[in-house]
Amino acid sequence: MDQPNSADVTNDVLRKRSLSDEVYDFLYRKIIAGKYSAGDWLRQEDISTQLGVSQTPVREAFDRLVATGLAERVPYRGVRVPKLEAKEILDAFIMRLVLESLAARLAARLISPDEVQALSAIVERTANLLSLEDMSTLRQLNKEFHTRLVDSARIPMLSKLYDMATNSFPDWMLYEYMFRHPELLQTSLVREYHEHQAIVAALMRNDSQNASTQVANHIKNLGDELEIYLDISGESIRELEAQIEPMISSHADT
């Protein structure tokens, strides 16, 4: 029997990866658009039949959805759109506020010009992504921006903790809400764009204090959206912010 050459193997891998990406994008858009609600089960066999693909790319897409927090795997039952309790959301919010503001402070001292340029390029790619059709791309770029920022602090454990926090932070629910209320979309995304620009500007100046402040303000604004869009207790959010404010401000540069 003839052995497949390396080009054939590579092409098979690329086709497989592309198909998995397409299934992921399909499911991502359905979740963001609210076609699947919190708690709905994602049935591997049904989705495979619906899309006319084998179960392998569906299973791989499930793995990616779980890794990004858009789905959760329940032992012995399957994969579903997560049902996050308010306490879980608040915990993730406060952890993200602490970890990312600290990461920004450290990154401002260590980040290279190339890394700053890469962050700036990501922000500029989002400048005109203001429509519902842009939501999938926008969320991926937003995730990449914040992950690169935290990684620039050069502390792998901090990056791991941050990944854990963001996987429980329901930014996809915020996008879903805006998907259902497009009148809110442009204002929110323009504000996010300018906040990201301010973070990059502080990093470019190696201004640790301002970088931390800009990130903290950005995350706090996301907290406001949790209150407005997801009906999370604003009083609880403000109380948690007040509790950690001394921790954040105590690291101010002298």
Compute the radius of gyration of the chain from its Cα atoms. 20
pLDDT for res 115: 97
Within 10 Å of residue 1's Cβ, how many Cβ atoms?
A: 3
Q: What is the pLDDT of residues 146-193, one digit of tens each?
A: 999 999 999 999 998 998 788 677 776 776 677 777 777 788 889 999
**Residue carrying structure tokens 């948690």:** 240
Kindly report, residue by residue over 61-83, the tens digit of the pLDDT.
999 898 877 889 999 999 999 88
Share of the chain above pLDDT 70, in %: 87
Q: Is the pLDDT of residue 199 over 60?
A: yes
Report the distance separating Cα 22 and Cα 19, nearest Å. Answer: 5
CA–CA gap between residue 10 and residue 5 (Å, rounded): 9
Reading the block at residue 205, the tokens are 């100046």
Token pair 């400048």: residue: 127
Highest-confidence segment of 34-48, 86-100, 108-122, 171-185: 108-122
193, amino acid identity? Y
Closest to 12 (Cα-Cα) out of 46, 64, 56: 56
Q: What is the pLDDT of residues 207-251, one digit of tens each?
A: 999 999 999 999 999 888 888 877 888 888 888 888 888 777 655
CA distances to 30, 59, 185, 188, 219 from 129, in Å: 19, 30, 10, 12, 20
CB half-sphere exposure, 97, CA atoms < 13 A? 27
Place of tokens 């323009």: 190
Write down the mean pLDDT value for the chain: 85
Does residue 33 carry a pLDDT above 70? Answer: no
103 burial class (0-12, 13-18, 19+ CB within 10 angstroms)? buried
Residue 11 or residue 179, greater confidence: 179
Q: How many CA atoms lie within 13 A of 3 on its CB side?
A: 2
* 173 contacts 85 by C-beta, under 8 angstroms: no
Q: How many CA atoms lie within 13 A of 236 on its CB side?
A: 13
**Strand blocks (E) in the chain:** 41-42, 72-74, 78-80
Say if CB 241 and CB 220 are below 8 A apart.
yes
Q: Which of 4-18, 71-85, 124-138 has the lowest mean pLDDT?
A: 4-18
Taking CB atoms within 8 Å and a gap of at least 24, the contacts of 3-10 are: none
What gap in Å lies between CA 91 and CA 179, rounded to an integer?
25
**Domains, the chain:** 6-80 (1.10.10.10), 86-249 (1.20.120.530)
Q: Which residue has the higher pLDDT, 135 or 150?
A: 150
Q: Which helix (H) or strand (E) holds 110?
A: helix 86-110
Report the pLDDT value the prediction gives residue 11, as an integer from 0 to 100.
Answer: 42
What average pLDDT does this structure show over 191-199? Answer: 96
Is pTM beyond 0.75? Reply is no
Q: Quick check: helix, strand or coil at residue 79?
A: strand
